[in-house]
Chain A
Amino acid sequence: MHESILVFRKRRYLWLALILSALSMAAYLLHDPQEPPNGGTVLGYTLGTIGALMILWLTWYGVRKRRYASRAGTLQGWLSAHVYLGIALLVIVLLHTGFQFGWNVHTLALVVMVLVVLSGLYGVYLYMKYPERMSENRGGTSRAELLSQLDDIDRRARNVAAKLPDAYRDFVDSGIQRTALGRTLWQRLRKEDNSRIRIDGEVVENPGQEAAMDWLAGQQSRADATLAATIAELSALLRNKRQLLRQVSEDLRLQAGLELWLYAHVPLTAALLVALTAHIVTVFLYW
């Protein structure tokens, strides 16, 4: 049975995060330093150390998830802990600051950390929503199946075209070879269809197989009954292909969304490691 990372093992990491946050908040409220709350009090150093170690551990997730042979817990458990402890980190580090912010390297580290956590939360949202939308869009099949169906239609289109004059065969072949959906993340997010087709010796844009279907419709109207029937068969296949391409485009768009947030989460994490180092070094450089 599939278990979401959010409810992994009876939400054990949610409870861990809640307890960690509650303990930090209780300590913050009970702690009464002889100075304004800041990162330099006993509690401030404690929370700061915990926060820094948590950041290192959370970052280690990027390493752990690539270690397929690792037996240190399941990857699902790691991700569940990664999500919940990442949120708890926000609480711990905010208490570490004593809510003192400024235009300095220390607040820079905080801001970068908050951005990392927020991008992570967005990632969690996507991982909760998008897979469902993806299977909804695919109607219970996989991307590979959609692509196989496309293959199948292409093959059948070639079979049908084989019964038609050479012009149709070239038409179908070029349409198949020049079918192209977005390749980069941006193109996929925008559901770009860069398909082209060679018609009457000229390569034209063919988004949604529109140009191809228009041309076929024109041919069909001028053809005799036998030819028209075969052309109609080809048109039906193209209509199916268009529908499948839409599904694939949507699938690619959703997958691009799933990948895109990592382009914020991962580089920001790298920036955070540097900012955190700068923060710690500076604090002790000017102790």
Chain B
Amino acid sequence: MKYLIRFITRNAAGGSEFHDRIVEAPVITMGRATDQVLHLKDKRVRLQHAEIERRDGGDVHITTSALAGVTVNGKSQRDARLKVGDVIEVGANVIRIIEAPDGVDFAISFELRADASSEHLVSKWSAPSPGIGGWSKRRLSWTLAGAVLLFGFLLPWFGMQGFLAAGPVHNAHSGIANQCGDCHVTIFERVPDSACMDCHTVTRHVDDAEHAVLGTVRCATCHLEHNEPPQLVNQHQALCADCHADLPATVGLQRAGDFLDDHPQFKVSLKRPTPLDDGSLDWQIEHLVLADVVDGDRSNLKFNHKAHLAADGIMTPDGKRVIRCSQCHEPEPGGVGMLPVSMDEHCSECHTLAFDPDDPTRTVPHGDPEAVLQALIEYYSARLLGDDPDATGQRLRRPGQKLTRADRDRVAAQARTQALDIAADLFERRACVNCHEVTAVDDDALPWRVLPVQLTDEFFPHTRFSHAAHDTEVTSCDSCHGAGTSEAASDLLIPDIDNCRECHGSGERRRNSPAQLTSTCVACHGFHFDAKEDFR
């Protein structure tokens, strides 16, 4: 189909001019889009506003989907049949149907109306919105910023200093440090050591000037407050390993970098006797590599753990009884170490020191051989001189009659003989010899020598070890001490490093097996102590 479009422009004086354009297309599209046949530069017009099209019957129609429609002959319409003379208004554009010249199917003229400016009655709605309830962003900003300022500085001002703290104060300090200034002595300066030293005294770690640690590093470098979880002690492997994994030879310490595979064998502290010239023993504590202790625990005690821990029990005065470790080895308060085992409390119930079957409650004292003989002599003297007529070997005398000197000497001699008989029985066969080393000596006053016993109290005095902390579901006394198979007291029932490594691993988690706990140096060792010699 061939259309003619006549573009009419009018000048200010009222004259008009026009130019024609022939368009061959099925429809004449009009709208604001640039691809339209009639390009209408008017913001009221849609991109594709309307179309002029000849239908099958030959009628030419204009159709639009715009809500405002098009105005045909002054009437707003969506679809109108067009005839010559009709006037179409689209926004400020005026289109007229004109007589088609020869060779053209349909002709229109197009012109822009003079009063093209719109009234903008509703332009007020495009104005910027005036905020929320009259609050501009600027006003809201100042208000919120002020609120934060008040919150941040007023709360602490009114006693809530904790609002400024980066984290909680450790329980150990919470009772004594209630104000920031208690530790933060000078503002904008870091916490000085003096704030710590007001309460704490600290032993040294390394004392020579070159390697001095304390005094050159602030306390708060390692001991940090306000962390969560609260942790005052630096437990990092590097705290120790940075130096101890690579110490100069002159220090004379073995290297220690990681408990898992870079740690010396355990050294154990043992009380050991040295015989002196006068026959007494000099007990000294020796620090020995555990694996190198060939002669075991030299306490001079005789004891068979295996027999006592027999699974089916052991004979006691009350019949057979199963004995557990804890019946003799009782934890001290707090559970760190064990209370000493004592003869009176733990042994004497079975190992009675009775000596006279006729008088089973009468016992000799424990711990002093001379006192044992003395007690026996006194016992038998009393019996020989006493009033009991049935007493063995007692001589009859008249009432009021005094013993003669000869009688007295004879009774004393007799009592001593009897006491020595019983004592020999006790020392050599029945009682003392069960647990003690007893030797017969050529000494009239006391013809036996009992080797004194001294038990080691602490085997690892410079490591932190708590029995209570190791009382778990997976551990028993036996898993470390193995007492159930020990038949001699000289067996050193102290676990070695491999035993610990079953559960304790490296300070680096990734190096451990699933069964191993991450264990750094500080798990067992302290930093501030002065016992370097023990580790040489």
Q: Judging by beta carbons under 8 Å apart, are A143 and B189 in contact?
A: no
**B140-159 CB contacts (< 8 Å) to partner A:** 140-149, 151-153
Q: Say whether B396 faces chain A, with CB atoms less than 8 Å apart.
A: no
Q: Say whether B44 faces chain A, with CB atoms less than 8 Å apart.
A: yes
Q: Judging by beta carbons under 8 Å apart, are B43 and A145 in contact?
A: yes
Q: Judging by beta carbons under 8 Å apart, are A263 and B140 in contact?
A: yes
Q: Judging by beta carbons under 8 Å apart, are A237 and B76 in contact?
A: yes
Q: Judging by beta carbons under 8 Å apart, are A39 and B131 in contact?
A: no
**B208-232 CB contacts (< 8 Å) to partner A:** 222, 224, 227-229, 231
**B70-128 CB contacts (< 8 Å) to partner A:** 71, 74-76, 91, 118-126
Across the interface, which residues of A come within 8 angstroms of B410, CB to CB? none
Q: Say whether B67 faces chain A, with CB atoms less than 8 Å apart.
A: yes
Q: Answer whether A152 and B140 are a contact pair too, CB < 8 Å, given A108-B148, A147-B125, A240-B68.
A: no
Across the interface, which residues of B come within 8 angstroms of A185, CB to CB? 129, 131-132
Measured CA separation A243–B228 after assembly (Å):
62
Q: Answer whether A151 and B166 are a contact pair too, CB < 8 Å, given A270-B142, A287-B188.
A: no
A150 to chain B, nearest CB (A): 5
Across the interface, which residues of B come within 8 angstroms of A52, CB to CB? none
Q: Say whether B130 faces chain A, with CB atoms less than 8 Å apart.
A: yes
Q: Judging by beta carbons under 8 Å apart, are B132 and A35 in contact?
A: no
Across the interface, which residues of B come within 8 angstroms of A142, CB to CB? 43
Q: Judging by beta carbons under 8 Å apart, are A266 and B140 in contact?
A: yes
Please pick, from B46, B68, B130, B135, the residue contacting A140 in the complex, using a CB distance under 8 A: B46
9-residue interface stretch from B52-60, B233-241, B332-340, B436-444: B233-241
Measured CA separation A147–B119 after assembly (Å):
10
Q: Judging by beta carbons under 8 Å apart, are B153 and A183 in contact?
A: no
Q: Say whether A6 faces chain B, with CB atoms less than 8 Å apart.
A: no
Q: Judging by beta carbons under 8 Å apart, are B145 and A176 in contact?
A: no
Q: Say whether A284 faces chain B, with CB atoms less than 8 Å apart.
A: yes
Q: Answer whether A267 and B129 are a contact pair too, CB < 8 Å, given A100-B227, A102-B168, A236-B76.
A: no
Q: Answer whether A152 and B44 are a contact pair too, CB < 8 Å, given A240-B69, A267-B143, A270-B145.
A: yes
Q: Judging by beta carbons under 8 Å apart, are A153 and B228 in contact?
A: no
Q: Say whether B191 faces chain A, with CB atoms less than 8 Å apart.
A: yes
9-residue interface stretch from A18-26, A83-91, A122-130, A274-282: A274-282
Of the candidates B76, B140, B146, B152, the one having the most CB atoms from chain A within 10 angstroms of its own CB is B152
Across the interface, which residues of B come within 8 angstroms of A282, CB to CB? 152, 164
A262 to chain B, nearest CB (A): 6
Q: Judging by beta carbons under 8 Å apart, are A140 and B47 in contact?
A: yes
Q: Answer whether A186 and B132 are a contact pair too, CB < 8 Å, given A104-B166, A151-B121, A152-B118.
A: yes
Q: Judging by beta carbons under 8 Å apart, are B131 and A266 in contact?
A: no
Q: Answer whether A154 and B121 are a contact pair too, CB < 8 Å, given A105-B164, A108-B152, A287-B190.
A: yes
**B154-190 CB contacts (< 8 Å) to partner A:** 162-168, 180, 184, 187-190
Q: Judging by beta carbons under 8 Å apart, are A147 and B126 in contact?
A: yes
Measured CA separation A249–B213 after assembly (Å):
75
Measured CA separation A156–B45 after assembly (Å):
15
Size of the chain A interface, CB-CB below 8 angstroms: 74
A176 to chain B, nearest CB (A): 6
Across the interface, which residues of A come within 8 angstroms of B317, CB to CB? none
Please pick, from B148, B151, B228, B239, the residue contacting A102 in the complex, using a CB distance under 8 A: B228
Q: Answer whether A112 and B148 are a contact pair too, CB < 8 Å, given A103-B163, A240-B69, A266-B141.
A: yes
A240, closest chain B residue (CB): B67
Measured CA separation A159–B137 after assembly (Å):
44
**B485-518 CB contacts (< 8 Å) to partner A:** none
Q: Judging by beta carbons under 8 Å apart, are B227 and A105 in contact?
A: no
B341 to chain A, nearest CB (A): 42
Q: Judging by beta carbons under 8 Å apart, are A105 and B133 in contact?
A: no
Q: Judging by beta carbons under 8 Å apart, are A286 and B137 in contact?
A: no
Q: Judging by beta carbons under 8 Å apart, are B75 and A233 in contact?
A: yes
A188, closest chain B residue (CB): B129
A276 to chain B, nearest CB (A): 10
Q: For chain B, give the interface size range.
A: 35 or more
Chain A binding site: helix, strand, loop or mixed by DSSP? helix
Q: Judging by beta carbons under 8 Å apart, are A285 and B144 in contact?
A: no
Q: Judging by beta carbons under 8 Å apart, are B132 and A263 in contact?
A: yes
Q: Answer whether A36 and B129 are a contact pair too, CB < 8 Å, given A104-B162, A150-B121, A179-B122.
A: no
Across the interface, which residues of B come within 8 angstroms of A274, CB to CB? 145-146, 148-149, 152
**A235-255 CB contacts (< 8 Å) to partner B:** 236-237, 240, 243-244, 248, 252, 255
B44, closest chain A residue (CB): A148
Q: Answer whether A285 and B132 are a contact pair too, CB < 8 Å, given A275-B152, A278-B152.
A: no
Q: Mark A64-106, 1 if CB is under 8 A from B, else 0.
A: 0000000000000000000000000000000000001111111
Q: Mark A171-185, 1 if CB is under 8 A from B, else 0.
A: 000001101010111
Q: Judging by beta carbons under 8 Å apart, are B227 and A286 in contact?
A: no
Q: Judging by beta carbons under 8 Å apart, are B224 and A252 in contact?
A: no
Across the interface, which residues of A come within 8 angstroms of B228, CB to CB? 36, 100-102
Q: Answer whether A243 and B67 are a contact pair too, CB < 8 Å, given A141-B47, A179-B122, A184-B132.
A: yes
Q: Say whether A228 faces chain B, with CB atoms less than 8 Å apart.
A: no
Measured CA separation A32–B520 after assembly (Å):
14
Measured CA separation A35–B165 after assembly (Å):
17
Q: Say whether A132 faces chain B, with CB atoms less than 8 Å apart.
A: no
Of the candidates A143, A159, A267, the one having the most CB atoms from chain B within 10 angstroms of its own CB is A267
Q: Judging by beta carbons under 8 Å apart, are A151 and B119 in contact?
A: yes
B136 to chain A, nearest CB (A): 9
Across the interface, which residues of A come within 8 angstroms of B46, CB to CB? 139-141, 145
Measured CA separation A149–B520 after assembly (Å):
80
A102, closest chain B residue (CB): B167
Measured CA separation A156–B121 after assembly (Å):
13
Please pick, from B44, B145, B146, B231, the residue contacting A36 in the complex, using a CB distance under 8 A: B231
Q: Judging by beta carbons under 8 Å apart, are A267 and B141 in contact?
A: yes
Q: Say whether A38 faces chain B, with CB atoms less than 8 Å apart.
A: yes
Measured CA separation A101–B145 after assembly (Å):
22
Across the interface, which residues of B come within 8 angstroms of A223, CB to CB? none
Q: Say whether A9 faces chain B, with CB atoms less than 8 Å apart.
A: no
A178 to chain B, nearest CB (A): 11
Across the interface, which residues of B come within 8 angstroms of A225, CB to CB? none
Interface pairs (27), CB distance under 8 Å: A34-B238, A102-B166, A103-B163, A108-B152, A145-B43, A147-B122, A147-B123, A154-B122, A184-B131, A240-B67, A256-B129, A263-B132, A263-B135, A267-B143, A270-B144, A274-B145, A274-B148, A274-B149, A274-B152, A278-B148, A278-B149, A278-B152, A285-B184, A285-B187, A286-B164, A287-B188, A287-B189
Chain A residues engaging chain B, CB cutoff 8 angstroms:
32-36, 38-40, 100-106, 108, 112, 139-145, 147-156, 159, 176-177, 179, 181, 183-186, 188, 233, 236-237, 240, 243-244, 248, 252, 255-256, 259-260, 262-263, 266-271, 273-275, 278, 282-287
Chain B residues engaging chain A, CB cutoff 8 angstroms:
42-47, 66-69, 71, 74-76, 91, 118-126, 129-133, 135, 137, 140-149, 151-153, 162-168, 180, 184, 187-191, 222, 224, 227-229, 231, 234, 236, 238-239
Q: Given A108-B148, A285-B164, list of 7 further CB < 8 A pairs?
A: A145-B46, A176-B121, A184-B130, A240-B67, A262-B137, A271-B144, A287-B184
> What 7 pairs between A and B have smallest CB-CB spacing?
A270-B141, A34-B236, A278-B152, A148-B44, A267-B140, A271-B144, A270-B145
